[in-house]
Chain A
Amino acid sequence: MITGAPRPRVDAVSRPFWEALAQGRLSVQRCDECGLGIWYPKEQCPRCWSPVPTWIALSGYATLRSHTTIRRPIFPGWGAEMLPYTIGLVVPDELPTVRLIVALPEGAQPAGTELVLTPIPTDHSYPLLAFGARS
């Protein structure tokens, strides 16, 4: 359980992502016209400007590109028990142009490590976007 971090202010464009995540699934947009994987959610494809890209469900499998470990709280509500924490840049297997910033609860791992979506419950409605080892 993660406590003390800001909760997302979910909006009309981002809601499908957060509702999918709340059910343990990774969902992002892909442009119907040019096929571009899009992150974060938008109302137009940034490449071909086609309107309202379609949401697609991904497998949740992703590869780690980079990581860093933070040893001090940037939120006053994060106690010492939350530190340190590791965040990573992961790329979903299906859509390499989607570059997700995620929590890595298992800590630092080398670039190239294969991961899978493992959402973590929080003290609000939406879980934390987290990835862990593939079992």
Chain B
Amino acid sequence: MKVAVSGVGFSDMQQGHDRPLLSLAGEAIQRAVSDAGLTRADIDGVATYNGVTEWADVAKQDGEDFVSVRLVTETLGLGGLTWYQEHAWGPATLTSIAGAEKALLSGDAKYIVVYRAMSRPRGRRLGEWSALSAGGESQFTAPIGYPWVPAMFALSFRMYMERYGFTEMDQARLAVLLREQAVANPHAAYRDPITVEDYLRSPYVADPLRALDCDRATDAAVAIVLTTTDRAADGPHVPVQVVGDVLTTAASRWESDDPEIDMRHMPGLLWERVGLSPTDVSFAQLYDGFSPSVFTWLHVLGLSEPDQTRERLEKGDFRLGGTLPVNTGGGSHSGGRLHGLNHVAEAVLQLSGRAGVRQIPDAQTGVLGMGQVLRPPLGGPGGTPGAILLARG
């Protein structure tokens, strides 16, 4: 017995702030449940990921900045749950999916909704630090102006790119590719094509990261429904099976000369677990909150070594129609900041044959790399990669 994704739902992408985030979460969940051919009464499990903002001391308002499981159950009348999960660390909603998988296989729940809702912060910028003092780990970083997620990762990305020979032209080609993939995706937030020149004109936010290396916040939500494969077979769409998944954390820092870019904790684990190899996949959806993460994911999953990656980017291998299409809906980079659940939704649409003009012919198996492979030198998210393999049917 395995589990499968039987429904997908996207909220509208809100450009202003008029509708509260809670409404968008409700909209995405209702659409996912309906897409799975189910109703409110079928849902007995709910999970989400509400991480990230603890790295900066910003006020968080439930229903506006994030949406808790509690608010979802109240709003959508999901009483009597027999399983739920809300966590703040790890590869975002991949952790929710891995948890849901175990709950479904144990029989704790029959139909589980996994959602992620994110908004642009109101009246301030994400990561802005308002406190006059900083304690705990942040006492060593806040006085220096470090605890801002792009700054944290910039230090590690510079080390990775220097070691493996990536340049700003590689970053430019990747950003152009991710935007190109979003153009054909009606669920993507940012769909105007960009050029290499646009990229090179894009301001640095924390070098080597430019604005066009970063995903952008949006007001949106996405949801999926998971159930066991036997139940999913009764649904209206081709189910998409979870073949296997793996969650890992980085090695202890003293075990490496450069622990920020040490990736030894990941290689092979997923493929060993599922008994497949990187050549067996039709596409890859790789977390791209900062687009150079795609380089690290291609590398660590054994899909493409750095030298090959540079060549294949130039040749167009990662485009739709290429030998290994990557982030076929524009990822989070151009799809909107939804911490990778939009990658999962895109993979499900591809594998159930519902990706419209983006459809990869005969897509049978797709791999997802979620979360950050690299980690900052101190604090911050990262170093908690997870991967999942999905297959049609």
Query: A and B: partners?
Result: yes
List residues of chain A with CB under 8 Å of any chain B CB: 2, 5-11, 14, 36, 39-40, 46-47, 65-72, 74-76, 78, 85, 87-89, 96-97, 99, 101-103, 108, 111, 122, 126, 128-129
Q: Which residues of B contact A128 (CB under 8 A)?
A: 143-144
B128 within 8 A of A: yes
> Is B203 engaged at the interface, CB distance under 8 Å to the other chain?
yes
Cα(A65)–Cα(B162), bound, Å: 11
Shortest Cβ distance from B258 into chain A, in angstroms?
7
Q: Given A99-B377, A99-B378, A101-B378, A5 and B155 touching (CB < 8 A)?
A: no
In whole Å, how far is B249's beta carbon from the nearest beta carbon of chain A? 14
Contacts of A65 in B (CB 8 A): 155, 159, 258
Given contacts A9-B133, A111-B162, contact A69 B144 (CB under 8 A): no
When distances are taken between beta carbons in the complex, the residues of chain A under 8 Å from B203 are 71
Residues A72 and B205 in contact, CB atoms below 8 Å apart: yes
CB distance from B44 to the nearest CB of A (A): 41
**B216 is an interface residue with CB less than 8 A from chain A:** no
Which of B130, B144, B253, B254 lies in contact with A87, CB distance below 8 A? B144
Add 7 more A-B contacts to A36-B254, A69-B207 (CB < 8 A). A9-B133, A14-B139, A67-B155, A68-B206, A71-B204, A75-B145, A129-B143
Query: 7 nearest interchain CB pairs?
Result: A9-B135, A8-B139, A68-B154, A6-B134, A66-B155, A6-B142, A74-B148
Q: Are A101 and B141 in contact (CB under 8 A)?
A: yes
Does any Cβ of A come within 8 Å of B127's Cβ?
yes
Most buried by B among A74, A122, A129: A74
Query: Which residues 224-265 in B have Cβ within 8 Å of A in the complex?
Result: 252-254, 257-260
Q: How far is the CB of A73 from chain B (nearest CB, A)?
A: 8
Q: Does B158 contact A (CB under 8 A)?
A: yes
Closest chain-A Cβ to B139's Cβ sits at a distance in Å of 4
Query: Chain A residue with minimal CB distance to B160?
Result: A66
For A69, the closest partner residue in chain B by CB is B207
| Contact surface of B with A, Cβ cutoff 8 Å | 56, 127-148, 151, 154-156, 158-159, 162, 203-209, 252-254, 257-260, 377-378
The answer to whether A78 and B254 have CB atoms under 8 Å apart is no
Closest to A74 in B: B148
- Contact of B144 with A96 in the complex, beta carbons under 8 Å: no
Once the chains bind, are B260 and A66 in contact (CB under 8 Å)?
yes
Also in contact, A76 and B260, with CB within 8 A (given A89-B377, A99-B377, A111-B162): no
> Is B143's CB under 8 angstroms from A6's CB?
yes
**Bound complex: CA A59 to CA B138 (Å):** 24
- A76 vs B159: C-alpha distance in the bound complex, in angstroms? 30
* Cβ of A119 to closest chain B Cβ, rounded Å: 11
- The reply to whether B143 and A7 form a contact with Cβ atoms under 8 Å apart is yes
On chain A, the residues within 8 Å of B162 by CB distance are 111
Could you tell me if A68 and B147 are in contact, using CB atoms closer than 8 angstroms? Answer: no
* A81 to B154 alpha-carbon distance, docked (Å): 23
Task: Report whether B145 and A5 are in contact in the complex, using a CB–CB cutoff of 8 Å.
Answer: yes
- Chain B residue with minimal CB distance to A10? B139
Report Cα–Cα, A72/B210, bound state, in Å.
13
CA distance A99 to B254 in the complex (A): 10
Shortest CB-to-CB span from B374 to chain A, Å, is: 11
> With a CB–CB cut-off of 8 A, which chain A residues contact B127?
74
A70–B206 Cα gap in the complex (Å)? Answer: 5
Which A residue sits closest to B142, measured CB to CB? A6
With A6-B129, A6-B133, A40-B378 as known contacts, state yes or no: A102 contacts B144, CB within 8 Å.
yes
Task: Specify which chain B residues have a CB less than 8 angstroms from the CB of A97 in the assembled complex.
Answer: 253-254
For the complex, what is the distance from the CA of A67 to the CA of B162, rounded to whole Å? 12
Contact indicator A76/B128 (Cβ below 8 Å): yes
Task: Give the CA-CA distance A39 to B206 in the complex, in Å.
Answer: 24
Question: Known contacts A6-B131, A9-B134; is A87 also within 8 Å of B151 by CB?
Answer: yes
Contact present for A5 and B142 (CB under 8 Å): yes
